[in-house]
Amino acid sequence: MKITKKFLSYGLIALLVMSPFISYASSEVEHAASSGHSDPIAPVLFGLIIILLAAKVGGELFEKMNQPAVLGELIFGIMIGNLALLSGGAFSFSYLVEAEAIDIMARLGVMILLFQVGLESNIKDMMKVGISSFLVAIVGVVVPMVLGYYVSSWIIPEAGFNAHLFIGATLTATSVGITARVLKDLDKLRTPEAKIILGAAVIDDVLGLIILSIVSGIVISGTVSATSIVTISLTSVVFLIGSILIGLKAAPLIGKWVSGMKVEGMKIVTAFLFLFVMSYMADLMGLATIVGAFAAGLVLDDVSFKNKKEHHIEVLVKPLYCIFVPIFFVLMGIQVKLDAFLDPKIIIIALGITAVSIIGKQACGLGVKCPGASKLTVGIGMISRGEVGLIFAGIGKELGVLDDSLFGAIVIMVILTTLVTPPLLKWSIARKDKAVESV
């Protein structure tokens, strides 16, 4: 209770302090935009100023309360996104979400996050927990899918077979972004639980995208051929394993080639070219770009750039991480529309699938075959649906399977699972650390 009060008072003070600036600048932006002589980057700069201020004020408040900074970024994002609602329509920031350049920077942010996670991971260590990761991923896909289908057909039987199927599919994908960020903030990326979760999330992403392709196929054609299921599945697996194998061979050669270069900044530019090419390739194969970003980080981890004059690659990536990653999390918060919560029917559906999505992923603990790894932490680490859930919901809406209220319910599920993950994860890790200490 004390923390909630403290948070509320801090948040209100921050909003009060920020609002005159926001109000003044907001009207100035409109003025500058209408006068036409302004640099096109001006509204983007304004958006970046608000987003980075929110990220750092929110992050700092939550760190002071011993909560992960990412939660502060999300909640300050929600406050900014709903300023129109909170201020009685006096201010609005909807154009922050609509600005293409800021959206692209947020996507770059989540890529850099997964790249950094890949850099800090190690393929050999991940192999050791490979079987656990695989079992965790399979359980984490099948159980929520089945539960989601039945809960949907129980609460809203009128929505029909396709909608139940799609809601089930939406519950399969794990969003590794939030969990990875919390584990990184707590400096726990090298624990067995972290390796299992990250490995499972990648396999999960591949499995989820296969299911999405198959479900979309059923919805569009009314049927799906065995050939296309096999093709989709094979492409994904071959890409991921193939790119890692080729990357492991290519990386030392690239490192050697770069070391002979005279021009400045070759190391960071080569690393980012690697990141961009791998992410782009993943997208071409129909996978999420973040799968490619993670693979790029995994592979580059083992590169020994010969250029000793420059800093270590993780030192070079960090400033880009600090600027771009918070943009992604604040923007995720901004996209939350609190007015959706005013409809009681949406709340019932949302709470139902949220409960199922949390319980469903707890079955993942059954897949953990690693002695000493906490089944609870792994189950909790798999809860967050984040941006992958939002992508699924968006496609469902596009295909006409999900109406606005079902889409709203899924968005709420994504938010709740995302909000619930950091504190639960923090609690379960502290619990295990305590248990280890008392032994």
| Distance of closest approach, residue 387 Cβ to a second copy, in angstroms | 10
| Distance of closest approach, residue 229 Cβ to a second copy, in angstroms | 17
Terminal Cα distance for the chain, rounded: 32
Q: Alpha-carbon distance 175 to 383, whole Å?
A: 8
| Distance of closest approach, residue 264 Cβ to a second copy, in angstroms | 7
Which alpha helices (H) appear in 260-374, and where do they start and end?
266-284, 289-300, 313-334, 344-362
Q: Alpha-carbon distance 189 to 317, whole Å?
A: 17
By CB under 8 A, name the binding residues for a second copy. 25, 28, 32, 37-42, 44-46, 48-49, 52-53, 55-56, 59-60, 63-64, 69, 100-101, 103-105, 107-108, 111, 185, 261-266, 268-270, 272-273, 276-277, 279-280, 283-284, 286, 288-289, 311, 315-323, 326, 395
Give the nearer residue to a second copy in terms of CB position, either 235 or 405: 235
| Distance of closest approach, residue 40 Cβ to a second copy, in angstroms | 7
Q: Alpha-carbon distance 88 to 82, whole Å?
A: 10
Give the nearer residue to a second copy in terms of CB position, either 100 or 437: 100
| Distance of closest approach, residue 50 Cβ to a second copy, in angstroms | 10
CA 251 to chain centre: 27
Give the nearer residue to a second copy in terms of CB position, either 189 or 355: 189
| Distance of closest approach, residue 275 Cβ to a second copy, in angstroms | 9
Give the nearer residue to a second copy in terms of CB position, either 321 or 341: 321
Give the nearer residue to a second copy in terms of CB position, either 98 or 339: 98
Q: Alpha-carbon distance 257 to 206, whole Å?
A: 33
Give the nearer residue to a second copy in terms of CB position, either 14 or 136: 14
Say which DSSP state 175 is in.
-
Give the nearer residue to a second copy in terms of CB position, either 326 or 381: 326
| Distance of closest approach, residue 31 Cβ to a second copy, in angstroms | 8
Nearest to 314 by CA among 327, 328, 297: 297
CB-CB neighbours of 188 under 10 Å = 17
Token pair for 7:
């948070």
CA atoms within 13 A on the CB side of 278: 33
Residue with tokens 């059923």: 218
Angle formed at CA 74 by CA 93 and CA 4, multiple of 5 degrees: 110
Give the nearer residue to a second copy in terms of CB position, either 107 or 432: 107
The answer to whether residues 186 and 68 touch, using CB atoms and an 8 Å cutoff, is: yes
Give the nearer residue to a second copy in terms of CB position, either 149 or 166: 166
Q: Alpha-carbon distance 214 to 226, whole Å?
A: 10
Nearest to 300 by CA among 122, 130, 100, 420: 122
| Distance of closest approach, residue 242 Cβ to a second copy, in angstroms | 17
| Distance of closest approach, residue 48 Cβ to a second copy, in angstroms | 5
